[in-house]
Amino acid sequence: MCKLIISFKDEYSPTALLKMEGRKEAAVVMENNKQIIFKGYIDRAPEITDMELKISNVSTSKLITTMEDGDILVTNLYLSCDPYMRGRMRDFHASYIPPFTPQSVMEGFGVSRVLHSKNQNFKAGDVVTGLTGWEEYSVIHNTAQLRKIQQDDDDESVPIPLSYHVGLLGMPGFTAYAGFYEVCAPKKGDSVYVSAASGAVGQIVGQLAKLHGCYVVGSAGTSQKVELLKNKLGYDNAFNYKTEPDLDASLKRYFPHGIDIYFENVGGPMLDAVLLNMAIHGRVVVCGMVSQHGMSSRHGIHNLYTLISKRIRMQGFLQSDYLSLFPRFLEDVTSYYRQGKIVYIENMNEGLESAPAAFVGLFSGENVGKQVVRLAGE
Amino acid sequence: MCKLIISFKDEYSPTALLKMEGRKEAAVVMENNKQIIFKGYIDRAPEITDMELKISNVSTSKLITTMEDGDILVTNLYLSCDPYMRGRMRDFHASYIPPFTPQSVMEGFGVSRVLHSKNQNFKAGDVVTGLTGWEEYSVIHNTAQLRKIQQDDDDESVPIPLSYHVGLLGMPGFTAYAGFYEVCAPKKGDSVYVSAASGAVGQIVGQLAKLHGCYVVGSAGTSQKVELLKNKLGYDNAFNYKTEPDLDASLKRYFPHGIDIYFENVGGPMLDAVLLNMAIHGRVVVCGMVSQHGMSSRHGIHNLYTLISKRIRMQGFLQSDYLSLFPRFLEDVTSYYRQGKIVYIENMNEGLESAPAAFVGLFSGENVGKQVVRLAGE
């Protein structure tokens, strides 16, 4: 067990603390804890004003006194902005994950460094990834959901940015991996269409599909993203759905023989157009419907009748049903990355203060790639 | 090969002809052929005036002169009215089955007796089922799709009405069988909901689900049908969807723990309500959407977002993908019927003239059970 030294010296900046990796003794000096507070339930697209910055004057030394056996105190390095979090802002308690508590700190996936541990599985200096608070320091009680990041000391291998553990090697990456291999039933030569194709999940789906020998087309909402899809992410083709006058016609152009696999991230009119262009026995794998903001979609889907004539399977999934595959995923995707077979694009915002805007931006497609907020240097 | 005797004696009524079962010589005397003509393409619910009765003065003797090797001439005994036929009334040529030809005879499943054969697999007197014309006499060219009905001479066994070969033992029955066993992935104890539950397909799905050990609730559009569901077809419960003020509340009452399998026959608002009430990992098996009349559904579906959180599989299917199972189906369902484990309700209309109204009635739920039109006695 680590022995704690509480120090009040000003020079113990958060950065200084973070450099204490590997030491069993961590100095904890911060008097304040900046936090992003969830104000209250909504039933629309999130807005910045649904959250607020609060300076909690509970010092880290005080936090330590509140810790129970098994808890760890961490400093948060990276916070992940993910569309599923919108679901937790609703007053709906029957979903697969409970809603946020109004007037409490927002929660999400992050990468954090352990400052103090009352858990024998973690020690000060460990870097972990899992659910944490949108704040500088968090006491994590549910440590079972954390994964310790093995930092590779082998200089020969390609280093993996810590932030990738909330993206390429985190929940979005695993969502892409499980969704593609376990739900899409992909075959070499299949025609694959990915919407939100440069997003946290989509960019990986497209690359996995290419590695699998598929023909892959993606759509996104800016010309910059379309360029990335074609020139960096290896898509066979890509288009800006916002500038296409007729989505049905666009899809017919890119998929003259129909779509075998549609990896659905957006919902709405795009889904309706896709349903008109599926191939026989096609699969619509529903990962998200980011365009639909309420508890009930604003855009009704009119073309489901094609499910019958085309014998389409439309299937929603959650990565959490496939967690037994996580170790294989980590191994495979780490290997792909180190071999240069996969790249990953992040949209990195700086500072906790930027987190609400970064999160809200997901729903209007402002992010280019996986949206991460950096709180402190590594 | 049969030797043909052409006779012009008036006493050779159609009924007399039909009694010639087993004889190699058939007398063919009819001077006229009543037919139901498809007038032209529509994109709405069918109306009676989309079809018209025509007396063709092509005699059966003339028909025989037009027959090619492999053709058979039949007299049609029963014609089947099925919702899929609406799709053939549209000017849409890219579906799994081509549209009807305007100004030509309607086509559908039927039970027919062979009058004259130029095909070594069929002889006069054989009773066959498969696609035939909506007319008194048809020359069938595509005989590969026909199935010869083995008429059981064993007095001990429960006789099977010939008309059942377009229902319980025909395409609707096989649709129910393939859909339930191959697509629904049923497990004992599953909660199963069937819409259009007393219809040609639904009534079989419900009974198969009960035989499988499921809890089964059905809905229909009249109190008479609801009574049949509960008292004749063995459903655990049933309700009239037209008198329920709130479908979501009704489903919550009948399925407090959610629906594992929804056998979808109707589409529209019912589907939206069901999506709110599916259990985790539930299956929505899309057999038909009889409430939706156009090429694009009038009622947009708003609750597809539940596919993700509930990990729902929604799958369209056509029985024709499972034809290798047809022999097993025939054996199983014949056996169920003969053992009294399954019943079948038909709505029998009399005379070819009644066929257009019988068909149109499908789309407003006027039929109680499988809709058949009887043309001539057996």
Please report the pLDDT score of residue A161 as a whole number.
96
Q: What gap in Å lies between CA A97 and CA A131, rounded to an integer?
A: 12
Neighboring chain A residues of B306 at a CB cutoff of 8 Å: 316
Cβ-nearest to B296 among A96, A303, A311: A303
Pairing mode of beta strands A278-286, A259-264: parallel
Task: Report, in angstroms and rounded to the nearest whole number, the Rg of chain B calculated over CA atoms.
Answer: 22
Structure tokens, A30: 């911060």
Cβ <8 Å between A296 and B313: no
Average pLDDT over residues A119-142: 97
Q: What does each of the 378 residues of chain B score in pLDDT, given as a tens digit? A: 233 333 333 333 444 444 444 444 445 568 899 999 999 999 889 999 999 999 999 999 999 999 999 999 999 999 999 999 999 999 988 788 899 999 999 999 999 999 999 999 999 999 999 999 999 999 999 999 999 998 766 656 788 999 999 999 999 999 999 999 999 999 999 999 999 999 999 999 999 999 999 999 999 999 999 999 999 999 999 999 999 999 999 999 999 999 999 999 999 999 999 999 999 999 999 998 877 765 555 789 999 999 999 999 999 999 999 999 999 999 999 999 999 999 999 999 999 999 999 999 999 999 999 999 999 766
Q: Does A300 contact B301 at a Cβ distance shorter than 8 Å?
A: yes
Tell whether A306 lies on the interface with B, counting CB pairs under 8 A. Answer: yes
Mean pLDDT of chain A: 90
Q: Does A257 touch chain B (CB under 8 A)?
A: no
Q: What is the pLDDT of residue B150?
A: 87
Residue where the block lists tokens 């594992």: B260
pLDDT tens, residue by residue, A228-265 = 999 999 999 999 999 999 999 999 999 999 999 999 99
Nearest Cβ partner for A312 among B87, B304, B316: B316
Would you state the pLDDT for residue B298? 73
Q: Taking 90 as the threshold, does the pLDDT of residue A346 lie above it?
A: yes
Residue A108's DSSP bridge partners are: A132
pLDDT score for B294:
58
For residue A236, the model assigns a pLDDT of 98
CB contact under 8 A, A300 and B296: no
Query: Which residues on B lie below 8 Å from A288 (Cβ)?
Result: 308
Alpha-helix residue ranges (DSSP H) falling in chain B: 14-18, 60-66, 171-178, 202-211, 223-231, 247-254, 269-275, 306-309, 326-338, 355-361
Q: How far is B304 from chain A (nearest CA, A)?
A: 8
pLDDT digits (tens, 9 = 90+) for A193-216: 999 999 999 999 999 999 999 999
pLDDT (average), residues A129-156:
90
Cβ neighbour number for residue B76 with a 10 Å cutoff: 23
- Report pTM: 0.89
Residue B180: the pLDDT is: 98
Q: Are residues A297 and B305, on separate chains, in Cβ contact within 8 Å?
A: yes
Angle formed by the axes of helices A247-254 and A268-275, nearest 10°:
50
pLDDT digits (tens, 9 = 90+) for A68-106: 999 999 999 999 999 999 999 999 887 788 999 999 999
Q: How far is B40 from chain A (nearest CA, A)?
A: 22
Which of the two residues, A137 and A157, has the higher pLDDT score?
A137
For residue B87, give the chain A residue with the closest CA.
A309
Q: Which of A302, A304, A321 sits opposite B311 (nearest CB)?
A: A321
B window 271-300, beta carbon within 8 A of A:
271, 280, 286-289, 292, 295-300
Helix (H) or strand (E) holding A229: helix A223-231
In chain B, residues with a C-beta closer than 8 Å to the C-beta of A286 are: 304, 307-308
Identify whether the C-beta of residue A208 lies closer than 8 Å to the C-beta of residue A175.
Answer: no
CB–CB contact A297 B303 (8 Å): yes
Residue B152's pLDDT is what? 66
Contact A286, A265 (CB under 8 A): no
Question: pLDDT value at position A133?
Answer: 98
Mutation choice for A interface testing from B43, B182, B296, B311 by most A CBs within 10 A = B311
Of residues B267, B303, B314, nearest to A314 (C-beta) = B314
Half-sphere exposure of A35 (CA within 13 A, CB side): 21
In this complex, is the C-beta atom of B77 within 8 Å of any C-beta atom belonging to chain A? no
Chain A: nearest CA to B137, how far in angstroms?
31
pLDDT digits (tens, 9 = 90+) for A4-57: 333 333 333 444 444 444 444 445 568 899 999 999 999 889 999 999 999 999
Least Cα separation, residue A299 to chain B (angstroms): 7
A312 contact B CB<8A: yes
Sign of the C-alpha dihedral computed for residues B162, B167, B170 and B174 taken in this order: negative
Give the up-direction half-sphere exposure of residue A352: CA atoms within 13 A in the CB hemisphere. Answer: 25
Residue A30 confidence (pLDDT)? 83
d(CA A342, CA A344): 7
- HSE value, Cβ hemisphere, 13 Å, CA-based, for B368: 10
Q: Does A19 touch chain B (CB under 8 A)?
A: no
Q: In this complex, do B309 and A271 lie within 8 Å of one another by their Cβ atoms? A: no
B73: part of which helix (H) or strand (E)?
strand B72-80
Other beta carbons within 10 angstroms of residue B113's beta carbon come to 24
Query: Which among B87, B304, B308 has CB closest to A301?
Result: B304
* pLDDT score at A277: 98
